[in-house]
């Protein structure tokens, strides 16, 4: 997920000192009170867009100063920069989503705490943990991509939601932070080099339990704990035959899946594993009936072959669900007690 250093950054170079203007100077040119007084119907939206454009100009001056600070996570220099901004911008906040995203992308934990807490230099004006970057993602999406467990914990502790989806022209739409974590974990070179479709489910689970994958599972587990409708997300991976993603999410969420999922009155109080299995069995039964009907009609072509392949995929998914249902806690204990990567 690309994180630009500033909105419309141009060539990325800071402006000469003689040409710099403060954000406060810029805002003087867009006082909306006069137009609102005249009843101009679009005054608020017009000046919001104009202020946003001015912020982009100001950011081109700020980000060249900010990035070196974030790369070193220098709290002293960040506080000094915050104090300068605070004087320039008066009562207006300045930890916009672009800035928080830059902090998270650099995994600058100390700077992130200041921004999210609204500490002394910010005079209580804290960053919005759910603010959406103009490219369409939140800070938690970025933390999920970089697999920073501590950053994920920090964002969640300050109110970040794990249920906001990406949106806009610059991202794949509809992705939860959980999807970002699972998909990136599934593309880890370690898995690509050691497992392929057709290998046994036991082999896949064994690879996921090795120390090389612990950081990825820990991040996914933490985000999964705060994500709604985990069973639906698992079923989506089953439906798309994404077995690596399915195994990762099953292993990361096995504790919450063992808890009750459906508490509605008059309905069975199933846990997550039971709910997935019921869906799987129903799907397999439906496919089996379709296959029998095709055979009875004398059809034995590509359509029947596709049904057989889909049935095999469901059986593979059911095997993964069964293994992690029965051995999930033992696997989790093993992962947590064997976390040191052995040098090659």
Residues 200-212 pLDDT 10s = 888 999 999 999 9
Half-sphere exposure of 35 (CA within 13 A, CB side): 12
The larger pLDDT score, comparing residue 121 to residue 225, is at 225
Residues 216-272 pLDDT 10s = 999 999 999 999 999 999 999 999 999 999 999 999 999 999 987 655 444 556 899
The larger pLDDT score, comparing residue 52 to residue 213, is at 213
Tell me the C-alpha distance between 114 and 295, whole Å: 67
Question: What is the structure's pLDDT at 14?
Answer: 39
Is the pLDDT reported for residue 123 higher than 80? Answer: no
What are the E-state strand segments in the chain?
Answer: none
- Yes or no: say if 231 and 261 are a contact pair by the CB < 8 Å rule: yes
Is the pLDDT reported for residue 16 higher than 70? Answer: no
Instruction: Give the pLDDT mean for 279-292.
Output: 94
Q: What is the SS3 assignment for 118?
A: coil
Question: What is the structure's pLDDT at 43?
Answer: 64
Question: What is the structure's pLDDT at 49?
Answer: 74
- Yes or no: say if 273 and 258 are a contact pair by the CB < 8 Å rule: yes
Residues 290-312 pLDDT 10s = 999 998 888 878 889 999 999 99
Tell me the C-alpha distance between 181 and 222, whole Å: 10
**115-129, 139-153, 174-188, 276-290: least confidently modelled range:** 115-129
The larger pLDDT score, comparing residue 104 to residue 30, is at 104
Provide the residue ranges of all domains of the chain, joining segments of one domain with +: 17-175, 188-337
Residue with tokens 């999210």: 116
Structure tokens that stand for 316 in this block = 């593979």
The domain covering 17-175 belongs, at the CATH homologous superfamily level, to Ankyrin repeat-containing domain (1.25.40.20)
pLDDT band at 12 (very low <50, low <70, confident <90, very high): very low
pLDDT band at 18 (very low <50, low <70, confident <90, very high): very low
Tell me the C-alpha distance between 50 and 26, whole Å: 10
Question: What is the structure's pLDDT at 145?
Answer: 95
Residues 167-186 pLDDT 10s = 999 999 999 999 999 999 99
Handedness of CA 309, 311, 315, 318 (dihedral sign): positive
Q: What is the SS3 assignment for 7?
A: coil
Is the pLDDT reported for residue 164 higher than 70? Answer: yes
Question: What is the structure's pLDDT at 286?
Answer: 95
pLDDT band at 162 (very low <50, low <70, confident <90, very high): very high
Question: What mean pLDDT value characterizes the chain?
Answer: 83
Question: What is the structure's pLDDT at 24?
Answer: 47
């Amino acid at each position: 997920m690309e994180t630009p250093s500033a909105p419309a950054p141009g060539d990325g170079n800071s402006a000469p000192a003689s040409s710099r203007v403060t954000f406060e100077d810029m805002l003087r040119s867009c006082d909306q009170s006069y137009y609102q007084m005249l009843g101009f119907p679009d005054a608020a939206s017009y000046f919001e867009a104009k202020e946003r454009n001015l912020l982009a100009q100001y950011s081109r001056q700020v980000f060249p100063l900010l990035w070196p600070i974030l790369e070193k996570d220098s709290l002293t220099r960040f506080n000094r920069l915050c104090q300068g901004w605070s004087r320039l911008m008066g009562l207006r906040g300045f930890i916009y989503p672009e800035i928080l995203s830059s902090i998270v992308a650099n995994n600058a934990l100390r700077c992130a705490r200041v921004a999210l807490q609204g500490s002394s230099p910010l005079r209580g004006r804290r960053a919005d943990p759910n603010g959406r970057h103009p490219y369409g993602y939140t800070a938690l999406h970025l933390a999920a991509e970089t697999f920073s467990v501590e950053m994920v914990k920090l964002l969640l502790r300050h109110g970040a939601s794990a249920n906001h989806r990406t949106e806009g022209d610059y991202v794949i739409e509809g992705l939860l932070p959980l999807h970002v974590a699972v998909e990136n974990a599934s593309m880890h070179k370690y898995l690509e080099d050691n497992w392929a479709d057709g290998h046994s489910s036991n082999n896949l689970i064994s690879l996921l339990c090795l120390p090389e994958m612990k950081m990825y599972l820990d991040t996914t587990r933490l985000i999964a704990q705060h994500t709604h409708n985990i069973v639906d997300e698992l079923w989506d991976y089953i439906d798309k035959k994404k077995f690596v993603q399915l195994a990762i999410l099953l292993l990361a969420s096995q504790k919450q899946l063992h808890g009750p999922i459906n508490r509605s009155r008059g309905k069975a109080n199933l846990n997550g594993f039971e709910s997935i299995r019921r869906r799987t069995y129903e799907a397999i039964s439906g496919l089996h009936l379709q296959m029998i009907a095709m055979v009875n009609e004398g059809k034995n072509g590509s359509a029947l072959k596709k049904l057989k392949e889909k049935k095999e995929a469901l059986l593979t998914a059911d095997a993964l669900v069964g293994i992690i249902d029965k051995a999930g806690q033992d696997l989790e204990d093993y992962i947590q007690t064997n976390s040191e990567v052995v040098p090659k």
